[in-house]
Chain A
Amino acid sequence: MTKEECKQVVLDIIAEIAPDEDLSNISPDVRLRDQLDLDSMDFLDIVMELRKQYGIEVPEEDYPQLASLDSCAEYLTPKFKEVSA
């Protein structure tokens, strides 16, 4: 999975969790929280969906790595490679 694909996975999950948010103009380098109305419970759901849909585990201490789309891609791409290997 490429970094771009990884970002799309995260966006798809957010669309599922928060169907009322407009995801058309997300800047990948800006914190998601600053662009969208997401709270800590929504971030928990991103983590839960990653586990449920892709078998990826994100330990609680790594939640800050999911702050922006860029940081998500940085952090998750190797994990996607691990699970598909």
Chain B
Amino acid sequence: METDRGDRHFDTIIIGCGMAGLAAGIRLAMYDRKVLILEKHSIPGGLNSFYSIAGRKFDVGLHAVTNVVPPGHKGTPLPSLLRQLRIPRDAFDLNPQRSSRIAFPGADLRFTNSFGLLEEEVDRQFPGQIEAFRRFRKRILEASPGEGTGVSSRGILAESLPDPLLREMLLCPIMYYGASTAHDIDFSLFVTLWKSVFEEGFGRPLAGIRTIIRALLDRYREVGGTRRMKCGVRRILVDEGIACGVELEDGEELTADRIISTAGEPETRILCGAGEEDPAVQENIGRLAFAETISILSRQPEELGIKDTIVFFNDSPLFHYEQAASDIDLRSGVICCPNNYAYPEGTSLDEGILRVTTIASYENWTAYSQPDYEEAKERWFSRMVESALNFLPGVDPELIRSSTVFRDMFTPRTVRKYTGRLGGAIYGAGRKSPDGTTGVENLFLAGTDQGLLGIVGAMFSGVTIANRHVLMAGRK
């Protein structure tokens, strides 16, 4: 049953049918809580969703599922998450990456889901640095949960690794896969991201993010959870500092003992009555927004010379990761080739896909009139692909152009429109709420702004918040 309009009271209402909302919903429904997920958009997935154009389905967000450890490898987030949701690992169809790279001028670090390759690459390309690198890794692996909160990663890197280029290169994938802050990242988040990217690794379902969303939806339905799609929340009802329900965009009111919001921290503040211009809202809006080009190729990328799964690139020895000063910041970015995962023998994606992600200016992209916006997308598409191809040696740009049969592009404007994220900030607020509390009683944050990152992280966040603030808190 997808809807339950007859009854207006719930144990828990969850705002947002993305990874975190679905995972939280599964946990609560599993233990017989009457739970309702409300989603503004018509398609589930939130920041990790999909869309269709001209018969093709495109993933939003997903380059790689991080935290992908081999089956049987326990004590890390992915197996723990699957247990909590009681979803078999096969349901997510996670195929490991082939090989990824960090590409800077004059240095190129390859890595796979086995840490050994990165270590060899550092040893080979940064003579004299390997002992310091090993000590730095040990420090990360031995960090206790939450250690390094409020501490600059650049500071710790500077005291740990003498070679500045190596420091900048290691920051590049970490920042691109989860930093909501420019230039530097909280060391506790660095530790989490390091493990999810370098120690655990990348994987992807053959059919993309839909496989994971489908597994979550099936499980949620199986345990009796309900949801309403195309059902936006106008405001969260707060009575003397206590959240007690929601008012929907159509005016209907629903009540709940607890509310879990995955809308984001400043976005949730607005739902509680703050204005968008409120300083408390403004100061925590994420300032990093992204654009992405998607090129559909008539041939498998490998035949065109593209062998990597993901390439994190930067055009100078100093890594640029900051708010874009123009429409697009071409100096750094990420190339993703979803074809280049180790899918089972005899299976592959029908068409070649090349995706290029860069930092983009939210202000610029939202200020354009519709015709100017379309024109700017057209213009920047080619420039983004061209700048990325500089980091794919041996790949002929002309051949890529002539093999491109379809293209699409999303910008910070698209992100705002479909996810409601202020500033188009896919990694959310600058300041996270690790315990999920909001200052409003019975209202909790899950997802990106709780501070766990990536697809596995978002689901884990939903589980953690549902456990701590609902299941362990007992019934009202």
Name A residues whose Cβ lies closer than 8 Å to a Cβ of B. Answer: 16-18, 20, 37, 39, 41-42, 44-45, 48, 51-52, 60
Query: A39 CA to B346 CA in the complex, in Å?
Result: 38
**Chain B interface residues (CB < 8 Å from chain A):** 30-32, 72, 74-75, 79-80, 83-84, 86, 463, 467, 471-472
Chain A's closest residue to B81 (CB) is A41
Contact B471 A20 (CB under 8 A): no
- Main SS at interface, chain A: helix
Residue in contact with A60 in the complex, picked from B30, B75, B86, B472, CB distance below 8 Å: B472
Q: Closest residue of chain B to A42, judged by CB?
A: B83
With A17-B83, A42-B83, A48-B471 given, is the CB distance from A37 to B31 under 8 Å?
Answer: no
A17-B83, A20-B74 provided; 12 other pairs, C-beta below 8 A? A16-B86, A20-B72, A20-B79, A37-B74, A39-B80, A41-B84, A41-B463, A41-B467, A45-B83, A48-B31, A51-B31, A52-B31
- Nearest A-chain residue to B72, judged by Cβ: A20
Min CB distance B30 to A, Å, is: 8
Q: Is the pair A45, B74 in contact by a Cβ cutoff of 8 Å?
A: no
Closest CB of chain A to B433's CB: distance in Å? Answer: 20
> Which 9 residue pairs spanning A and B have beta carbons closest together?
A37-B74, A48-B31, A41-B84, A44-B467, A18-B83, A52-B31, A48-B471, A39-B80, A52-B32
Q: What distance in Å separates the Cβ of A41 from its nearest Cβ neighbour in chain B? A: 6
Q: How far is the CA of A18 from the CA of B74 in the complex (A)?
A: 11
In the docked arrangement, what's the CA distance between A45 and B472, Å?
10
Determine whether the beta carbon of B72 is less than 8 Å from that of A41.
no
Contacts of B86 on A, CB cut-off 8 Å? 16-17
Which residues of chain A are within 8 angstroms of B467 by Cβ–Cβ distance? 41, 44
Distance of A28 from chain B, by nearest CB (Å): 23
- Residues on the A chain within 8 Å of B31, using CB: 48, 51-52
Please report the C-alpha to C-alpha distance between residue A16 and residue B32 in the assembled complex, in whole angstroms.
Answer: 17
List the B side residues contacting A48 at CB < 8 Å: 30-31, 471
CA distance A48 to B79 in the complex (A): 19
Q: How far is the CB of B154 from chain A (nearest CB, A)?
A: 32
A41 & B471 in contact (Cβ 8 Å cutoff): no
Please measure, in the bound complex, the distance between the C-alpha atom of A17 and the C-alpha atom of B463, giving whole angstroms.
15
**Contacting residues, chain B, for A37 (C-beta < 8 A):** 74-75
- Report B9 CB to chain A, min CB distance, Å: 21
**A23, chain B: closest CB distance, angstroms:** 14
Closest beta carbon of chain B to A38's beta carbon, Å: 9
Answer whether A45 and B84 are a contact pair too, CB < 8 Å, given A52-B31, A52-B32, A60-B472: yes
Contacts of A45 in B (CB 8 A): 83-84
